[in-house]
Chains A and B, each alone.
Chain A
Amino acid sequence: MKIFFCGFVIDFVFTGISENLAVPRRWLRGFIRKDKKKPADFCVFVFGKPKNAVSGDDSKKTAADSGLVVSSEADFSFIFSPKNGVAVSFLKPEKTAFIGLLRKLLPEFLLRKGGFILHSAGVKCHSGGYLLSGRSGSGKTTLAKKFDRVYSDDLTPVIKKKGKYFIYPSFFWGELRRGKKFFPFPSPLTAVCFLKKDRRNLAVPLRPKKAFMKLVRNVLYFGSEPDRVLSLCDEFVRENRFYMLKFRKDCDISSMLV
Chain B
Amino acid sequence: MKNNKYSISASAAFRLIDGEYFIVTPGDSMLHCLNETATFLFGLLEKAGLMTAVELASGICGEYETDEKEALGDVEGFLSALVEKGILEEK
Contacts and interface: CB of A to CB of B under 8 A. Distances in A.
B37 to A, nearest CB: 17
A234 B17 contact: yes
Contacts of B22: 212-213, 216, 230
Secondary structure of the A side of the interface?
helix
B24 interface: yes
B13 interface: yes
A250 interface: no
Interface residues of A, number: 19
A212 B17 contact: yes
A250 B14 CA distance: 40
Nearest to B16: A234
B26 interface: yes
Given A213-B31, A216-B31, A217-B31, A222 B14 contact: no
B33 A230 contact: no
B29 interface: yes
A141 B17 CA distance: 31
B15 interface: yes
Contact of B18 (A209, A224, A227): A209
B29 A230 contact: no
B24 A226 contact: yes
A216 B19 CA distance: 17
B20 interface: yes
Contact of B13 (A217, A221, A226, A237): A226
Contacts of A213: 22, 31, 33
Most B-side CB within 10 Å, residue of A207, A216, A221, A237: A216
A201 B23 CA distance: 33
A205 B88 CA distance: 34
Contacts of B26: 222, 224, 226
B18 A230 contact: no
A229 B31 CA distance: 12
B17 A227 contact: no
A208 interface: yes
A227 B25 CA distance: 10
A230 B20 CA distance: 14
A216 B24 contact: yes
Contact of A208 (B18, B24, B33): B18
A208 B29 contact: no
A10 B35 CA distance: 43
Given A216-B31, A222-B29, A209 B15 contact: no
A209 B17 contact: yes
Contacts of B13: 225-227, 229-230
B43 to A, nearest CB: 16
Interface in B1-56: 13-15, 17-20, 22, 24, 26, 29, 31, 33
Interface of B: 13-15, 17-20, 22, 24, 26, 29, 31, 33
Sorted from nearest, which 5 A-B pairs have the closest CB atoms?
A209-B18, A227-B13, A226-B13, A226-B24, A222-B29
